Amino acid sequence: MTYPFLKGHGTQNDFVLLPDHDGSVHGALDPTRVRALCDRRAGIGGDGVLRVIRTASLPELAHLAEHAEWCMDYRNADGSVSEMCGNGIRVFARHLLEEGLVDPAAPIPVATRDGVKTIEVAGSQLRVAMGRPQVLGETAVSVGHLTWAARHVDVGNPHAVAFVDSLDPSGPVGRLLEPPVHDPAVYPLGVNVEFVLRRGDRHVAMRVHERGSGETRSCGTGACAVAVAAAVADGRVAGEEVTYRVDLPGGTLTITWAADDEVFMTGPAEIVARGETAL
């Protein structure tokens, strides 16, 4: 038995897409199968899986069906579920656009475990209304014997944002082969950890270790958390609109924290392959 798949990426955060419009192909989407698909040697390879399913067909999110026809059922490479994926939702929307499943001239609502997000075409890029962030307390993250202060930011999924002096893999942050150590009382379900370097006025660079996927070349929700943490550190006042350029190893994302507190993420998304898989 084989199943259709596509492969896509947003700033090199890459995903296997599984069209399963009525939910009859992949059932509950077993974590073992997700791991097999994401395996970079024995599988297709990816940082995660995006199941493309009608919202009404996914029982846990069916209550959102009146607001969004399509649902991004997202899984990390280790098979775990996350609330949201910022790069993934742009790739998901690109797929809907390329397949003619949505109107390119209208905002595209997509259901996620963090509610409905709306995507708009912005030239060659896609702009996503990501919701309002929660800026929580100070915490700490460690790599080896080094510890950094970190800001807890929730953008639907959890983030710890640490400002550092160097992102060089041969420097203190290292190669991030293991998850940075965090406080489990703050993040009982794990955390995505961003290391951030200032590059200029409202311009930062970052590396990320993602919960469930390891170090990736980009993280959209991470870029939003980083821009929010940088804006707070830069003294943003309520009602002020600020825009940050966030450079990641796989590309650049533009993050705007609007006057009404909504965060918007703009960036590219591409579908690069399609085929059939027996995995």
169: CB partners within 8 A, 6+ apart: 175, 176
Binding residue count for ligand LBFN2T5F, defined by CB under 6 A: 18
Q: Contact 243/234 with Cβ under 8 angstroms? A: no
Among residues 172 and 251, whose Cβ is nearest to ligand LBFN2T5F?
251
Name the H helices within the chain: 31-38, 86-98, 220-233
Span 75-94, contacts to ligand LBFN2T5F by CB under 6 A? 76, 82, 85-88
- Note whether 221 binds ligand LBFN2T5F by CB under 6 A: yes
* Closer residue to ligand LBFN2T5F (CB): 55 or 221: 221
Does the protein bind ligand LBFN2T5F through residue 219 (CB under 6 A)?
yes
Catalytic: 219? yes
Binder among 209, 211, 226, 267 for ligand LBFN2T5F (CB under 6 A): 211
Query: Active site residue: 38, 71, 219, 224, which one?
Result: 219
Single out the residue of 6, 8, 9, 13 in contact with ligand LBFN2T5F (rule: CB under 6 A). Answer: 13
Binding site listing for substrate: 13, 76, 86-87, 157, 192, 210-211, 220-221
Q: Is 38 a catalytic residue?
A: no
The answer to whether 55 contacts ligand LBFN2T5F (rule: CB under 6 A) is no
Candidates 8, 180, 212, 268; binder of ligand LBFN2T5F (CB under 6 A) is 212
Annotated catalytic residues are: 85, 219
